[in-house]
Amino acid sequence: MKPKKIVKLTALIGGGIILIGGIVIGVTGLWPVARVGASPITYAAFRDNFMMVDYFYRSNVRITGGSDQAVNTNEVQRDLQRVTMEGLIDRILIDRELKKRYTDDDLERLIANKIEGVDLTSETMVEAMRLMYGLEAEGFKELVLIPKAKQEILEGNLSLQNGTFSDWLAAQKTEASILVFVPSLQWSGDEVRVR
């Protein structure tokens, strides 16, 4: 084969691999929308959490007798995106700290102890999860219960050391290397802001 044909063939194969990889990443939602240090926040995680936050907000508006059409405004949607991103950043910082303080087995046991009293199969709870969050039991556990249990574990640990969670979190946010790739949001050095 001639060198030009080899280069063209290599470029064609390389381009095909990149295209297929891009399609797979695009379909699965694995591309990053933010980064906290080396930890990415994927579009899939952001989307799932945003959908839950949006559903929860709409549910609260409906319960109070309002119309959830106001939730569709750009201002409200961007603020919900901001809250979602802020929460995901907080979760990564909390997870990092818990990994420093506990082994995987100990942390798993502590989380199980925190959520063991919640009966996700009761008729009332199933209805509440659907009504307020638009989630089934497994989604509710992953998106709400486990992150809340982790936060409470860290809060308890910090309070035993005469610290406060809010002070710890504020310090972590200012020290962390955080990049947000969502065009409507930006990292200000200590919080997520709407552009």
Sign of torsion, CA 48 170 78 63?
A: positive
Instruction: Using the Cα atoms of residue 72, residue 73, residue 74 and residue 75 in order, give the sign of their dihedral.
Output: negative
pLDDT of residue 10: 72
- DSSP per residue over 36-80, as a string? ETTEEEEHHHHHHHHHHHHHHHHHHHHHTT--GGGGGSHHHHHHH
Question: What pLDDT does 13 receive?
Answer: 73
Q: What is the pLDDT of residue 24?
A: 55
Please report, in tens digits, the pLDDT of each residue of the chain (195 residues total).
677 777 776 766 766 666 565 555 555 567 899 999 999 999 999 999 999 999 999 998 888 888 778 788 899 999 999 999 999 999 999 999 999 999 999 999 999 999 998 999 999 999 999 999 999 999 999 999 999 999 999 999 999 888 899 999 999 999 999 999 999 999 999 999 999
pLDDT of residue 29: 63
